[in-house]
C-alpha cells in the first residue's frame, strides 16, 4: 500500500499527480501558473478532475535563468501553505533537489519530496525522513540539475535505472523514510536520449517487479515529441498512448499536465484489465 500524507492507495490503484509550475518560464505553460490566483485555480481544477497529488515546482527542469534556493523557496513555501489550508486532504508534493528547500516546504505542509535529479543532494532524503514525508527516487543518469543530456550512453539503460533507483530507495528507507512512502521513477528524458526513454517505457514492468511503486513523468516530454516529430503543444496523443502502455505494465503514479484526459485513459486501462467495472452497463441488456 502506498501512503502519502493523509491518503493511502491500494497497490494497483492508479494515482494522478497534477503539475503546478510556480515558474515564469516553464516549458509547457510558459508561466501560466506563476502567479498565485491562476495557480490556485489550477489546483482546484486538477482536484476536481481527479488528481490526488499536486506537484509544485519552483524551478524549470531545463536550462534557463538562475534560481537560487532562496528564490525557489519564495516561489513555493507560501503556496504550499495556502494549498494545505484550502485543500487539507490533497497530497502536496514539491519538485526540488535542494535539502534547504525541502526542509522549508515540509514545514509548510508538504507530504512528498519529488527529487527529479536523482539524489544530487543526499541530505534531501534526510529531510524527508525527519519530517515523515515521502520521497520520489529518480534516475537522472548522474546529470547535474538543469542540464540537458549530450551523447549519453548505457550498456543497459534499465539495469542502470534499477541500480540507481533501488539504491536511492533503500538508502532513504535506512534513513527513516517510511517504506510505504517511497516511489521510484525511471526519469524519462533526464540523462537520456529518446531511445533510452522509449526502452525504459518498454521495460517498465522490470521496475514494477521490484515491489516499489513506480511513478512516471511522461507529460509532453521531448521523447514523445521526437518519436512523433511534434512540438510541445501537439504531444497530448503521444503522451496518452505512453500513459496507457505504462498503466498496462503496472506504473502507479502519473505526473501530468492534462488531468481529465489522463483519468479517462487510466480508467479505460483498468476496465480492460478487469480491475475496474464499467461506469455504466447498458449494451445488450435493454
Q: What is the torsion angle, in degrees rounded to the nearest 10, for the CA atoms of residue 193, residue 196, residue 201 and residue 205?
A: -150
Q: What is the pLDDT of residue 215?
A: 98
Q: What is the pLDDT of residue 33?
A: 84
Note whether 53 and 18 are within 8 A (CB).
Answer: yes
Note whether 212 and 169 are within 8 A (CB).
Answer: yes
Q: Which residues contact 67 (CB under 8 A, 6 or more apart)?
A: 23, 58, 59, 75
Catalytic residue IDs: 221, 255
Query: What are the residue boundaries of the structural domains of the chain, listed by start?
Result: 2-273
Instruction: Among 3.90.79.10, 3.30.70.270, 3.20.20.20, 3.20.20.70, name the CATH number for the domain at 2-273.
Output: 3.20.20.20
Backbone dihedral region for residue 224 (phi beyond 0: left; psi -120 to 50: alpha; all else: beta): alpha
For residue 272, the tally of other CB atoms under 10 A from its CB is: 12
Q: Which residues contact 179 (CB under 8 A, 6 or more apart)?
A: 173
Q: What is the pLDDT of residue 24?
A: 87
Task: From 78, 65, 86, 186, select the one nearest 94 (Cα to Cα).
Answer: 78
Note whether 105 and 96 are within 8 A (CB).
Answer: yes
Helix (H), strand (E) counts: the chain:
10, 10
CA distance 201 to 223: 11
Please report which residue ranges of the chain form alpha helices under DSSP H.
Answer: 36-49, 69-86, 99-108, 123-131, 157-175, 194-202, 204-208, 222-228, 236-249, 259-273
How confident is the prediction along the chain (286 residues), in pLDDT tens digits per residue?
999 999 999 988 999 999 999 998 777 776 788 889 999 999 999 999 999 999 999 999 999 889 999 999 999 999 999 999 999 999 999 999 999 999 999 999 999 999 999 999 999 999 999 999 999 999 999 999 999 999 999 999 999 999 999 999 999 999 999 999 999 999 999 999 999 999 999 999 999 999 999 999 999 999 999 999 999 999 999 999 999 999 999 999 999 999 999 999 999 999 999 999 999 999 999 7
CA distance 73 to 107: 12
Note whether 76 and 92 are within 8 A (CB).
Answer: no
Q: At which residue does the C-alpha cell 520521497 appear?
A: 135
Collapsing DSSP states into helix, strand and coil, what is residue 136? strand
Amino acid at each position: 500500500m502506498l501512503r502519502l500524507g493523509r491518503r493511502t492507495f491500494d497497490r494497483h490503484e492508479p494515482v494522478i499527480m497534477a503539475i503546478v509550475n510556480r515558474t515564469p518560464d516553464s516549458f509547457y505553460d510558459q508561466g501560466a501558473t506563476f502567479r498565485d490566483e491562476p495557480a490556485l485555480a489550477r489546483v482546484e481544477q486538477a482536484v476536481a478532475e481527479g488528481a490526488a497529488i499536486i506537484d509544485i515546482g519552483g524551478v524549470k527542469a531545463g536550462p534557463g535563468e538562475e534560481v537560487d534556493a532562496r528564490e525557489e523557496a519564495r516561489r513555493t513555501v507560501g503556496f504550499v501553505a495556502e494549498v494545505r489550508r484550502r485543500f487539507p486532504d490533497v497530497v502536496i508534493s514539491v519538485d526540488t533537489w535542494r535539502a534547504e528547500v525541502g526542509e522549508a516546504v515540509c514545514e509548510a505542509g508538504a507530504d512528498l519530496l519529488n527529487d527529479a535529479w536523482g539524489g544530487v543532494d543526499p541530505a534531501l532524503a534526510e529531510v524527508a525522513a525527519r519530517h515523515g514525508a515521502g520521497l520520489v527516487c529518480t534516475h537522472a543518469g548522474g546529470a547535474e540539475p538543469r542540464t540537458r543530456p549530450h551523447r549519453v550512453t548505457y550498456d543497459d539503460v534499465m539495469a542502470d535505472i534499477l541500480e540507481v533507483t533501488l539504491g536511492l530507495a533503500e538508502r532513504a528507507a535506512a534513513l527513516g523514510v517510511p517504506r510505504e512512502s517511497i516511489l521510484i521513477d525511471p526519469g524519462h528524458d533526464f540523462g537520456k536520449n529518446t531511445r533510452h526513454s522509449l526502452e525504459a517505457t518498454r521495460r517498465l514492468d522490470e521496475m514494477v517487479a521490484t515491489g516499489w511503486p513506480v511513478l512516471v513523468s511522461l507529460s509532453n516530454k521531448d521523447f514523445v515529441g521526437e518519436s512523433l516529430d511534434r512540438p510541445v503543444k501537439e504531444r497530448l496523443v503521444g503522451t496518452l498512448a505512453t500513459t496507457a502502455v505504462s498503466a498496462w505494465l503496472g506504473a502507479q503514479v502519473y505526473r501530468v499536465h492534462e488531468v481529465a484526459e489522463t483519468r479517462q485513459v487510466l480508467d479505460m486501462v483498468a476496465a480492460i484489465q478487469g480491475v475496474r467495472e464499467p461506469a455504466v452497463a447498458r449494451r445488450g441488456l435493454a
